[in-house]
Structure 1
Amino acid sequence: MLYGLAVFPSSEIQEFADRYRKRYDTHYSIIKPHLTLREKELISEEQLEKGISYLTEAARKLEPFILHFNRFSTFYPANNVIYMALADPEPMQKAYEVLCSGVLQEQAKPYAFTPHLTIAQELGDDELHDVLSSVRKQPVDFRCTVNHVVLLRQTENGIWQSVQEFPLGGSGE
């Protein structure tokens, strides 16, 4: 099965992002607004057991942290994606380094980890520029606390479902 690891922001941030996603994000109906920590990957049951054990311990090493979304940005010209960007990506970068190492080390990624919340993807060049010029006029100032990460599984119909939450710093135990 395909699995991934993500952080879900507060419902207020998700509602804001969904105003754009329902029109411009082809993945709107299969997953809630999120920040990907680990891209989807085909994982066996044995790998899953090892991964869950690793995530349980690794998440305890991280303290809850704050995300502050402060603007819209894009990966253009590398990719026609518009996203909500973080004022300080360092807490997510640290989470990535801790959680995506050891048995969950990603091999041969074609790009650097850039924490973000996608609001538009798979746009043509003209549409990307039109949407980007419009959203950049909108003020963005949202904060939320991240106190857990979520292991997700993609179902046969393409929808992503939560498998397990991993509290940070041992919170929630």
Structure 2
Amino acid sequence: MKYSVVIFPSSKVQEVANSYRKRYDSAYALIPPYIRLKEAFDVNEADLPKLVAHLEQVASETESFSTRFHRVSSFHPTNNVIYLAIQNKEPFENLHHKILKNDLSQKETYAFVPHLTIGRDLTDDELRDVTGQLSMVKFDLTSDIDRFHLIYELEDGMWSVYQTFLLKK
């Protein structure tokens, strides 16, 4: 089964992100707005307890934190993805590295850049147009991060939470 590790930001941040995602993100109906800590990967059911134990350990060693989304950016030309950029990336990078220390993890396809996707699968022209419009919008959104989630993909492509891991207060 395919799993991933993500953070869901505050409902206020999700509301703003969804106002763009419903128009520009082909995955809008499949998963709420999220910050991916680990790319999708396959896990055998027998290995799941080991993965869960590792994630529990990571959560117990990691302090909760706040983050700020401050502008729109894109991964063009590598990928036609538009996202809300995160100002303080270090806590996400630390979590990402701790999660990758698990021997079940596979190599990541892309370099890790903490972000919140608001548009994907856009043509080059759409990407330029939307990025140009959104670069003029002022973003100042904050979210307290006190948990992350192990999620799994259902047969219909939707993602569901398998388990939530609380960070230290």
CA RMSD of aligned residues (A): 1.1
Counterpart of 1:106, as a letter, is Q
Residue 88 of structure 1 aligns with which residue? 88
Q: Helix, strand or coil for the counterpart of 2:103?
A: helix
Q: How does 1:125-140 map to 2 (within 5 A)?
A: 125-140=124-139
Shift of 1:10: 0.2
Q: Percent identity?
A: 38
Shift of 1:105: 3.7
Residue 32 of structure 2 aligns with which residue? 32
Q: How does 1:36-75 map to 2 (within 5 A)?
A: 36-75=36-75
TM-score w.r.t. the length of structure 1 is 0.94
Given that 1:2 and 1:41 are in contact with CA atoms closer than 8 Å, whether structure 2 keeps it comes out as yes
> Following the alignment from structure 2 to structure 1, what is the Cα–Cα distance between the partners of residues 150 and 135?
32
1:6-33 superposed Cα distances (whole Å, 9 cap, x missing partner): 0000000000000110010000000000
Q: Helix, strand or coil for the counterpart of 1:103?
A: coil
> Following the alignment from structure 2 to structure 1, what is the Cα–Cα distance between the partners of residues 18 and 132?
18
Given that 1:25 and 1:120 are in contact with CA atoms closer than 8 Å, whether structure 2 keeps it comes out as yes
List runs of 5+ in structure 1 lacking aligned partners: none
> Following the alignment from structure 2 to structure 1, what is the Cα–Cα distance between the partners of residues 135 and 160?
31
Residue 14 of structure 2 aligns with which residue? 14
> Following the alignment from structure 1 to structure 2, what is the Cα–Cα distance between the partners of residues 65 and 28?
26
Call closer, same or farther: CA 1:86–1:52 in 2, change over 3 Å. Answer: same
1:49-78 superposed Cα distances (whole Å, 9 cap, x missing partner): 110011111111100011110000000011
Counterpart of 1:64, as a letter, is S
